[in-house]
């Protein structure tokens, strides 16, 4: 069965800290994604990657960076956490082949609070 695992369900950090959110998928998917979800705004794409060491900016990349050293792992990094980065973070993966009909499979999400 499809499995996307995010390292933490809940995380509390302090302003200015460097924060790492980890995501691992076991489906050999080429594409991986990081979203943040805020009430009333839906899901917004932060970064995505379609191959190892490749990354592309999404709609709201400011204040974030990513790392993809291995195919199965995609990390989101908050370089210097700020309170406006308090949010729910969702990781997803999908196959690249097949065009438009490949769904994204999501992890359970990480609720991050920056104090």
Partner 1 sequence: AQKITQTQPGMFVQEKEAVTLDCTYDTSDQSYGLFWYKQPSSGEMIFLIYQGSYDEQNATEGRYSLNFQKARKSANLVISASQLGDSAMYFCAMKRGGSQGNLIFGKGTKLSVKP
Site of interaction with partner 1 (CB under 8 A): 9, 31, 33, 40-45, 48, 50, 56, 58, 88, 90, 92, 94, 96, 99-109, 111
Minimum distance of partner 1 from residue 13's CB (angstroms) = 19
Output 26 or 79, the one with its CB closest to partner 1. 26
Least distance in angstroms from the C-beta of 70 to partner 1: 18
HSE of 55, CA atoms in CB hemisphere, 13 A? 18
Q: Which is nearer to partner 1, 2 or 14 (CB)?
A: 2
Q: Which is nearer to partner 1, 18 or 96 (CB)?
A: 96
Question: What span, in angstroms and rounded, lies between the C-alpha atoms of 71 and 96?
Answer: 13
DSSP β-ladder status, 42-49 and 56-57: antiparallel
């Amino acid at each position: 069965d499809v499995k996307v695992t995010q390292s933490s369900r809940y995380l509390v950090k302090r302003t200015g800290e460097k924060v790492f959110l980890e995501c691992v998928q076991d489906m050999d998917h080429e594409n991986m994604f990081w979203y943040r979800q805020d009430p009333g705004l839906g899901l917004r794409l932060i970064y995505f990657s379609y191959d190892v060491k490749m990354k592309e900016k999404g709609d709201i990349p400011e204040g974030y960076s990513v790392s993809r050293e291995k195919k199965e792992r995609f990390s989101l990094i908050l370089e210097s956490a700020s309170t406006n980065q308090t949010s729910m973070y969702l990781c997803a993966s999908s196959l690249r082949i097949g065009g438009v009909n490949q769904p994204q499979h999501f992890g359970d999400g990480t609720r991050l609070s920056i104090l």
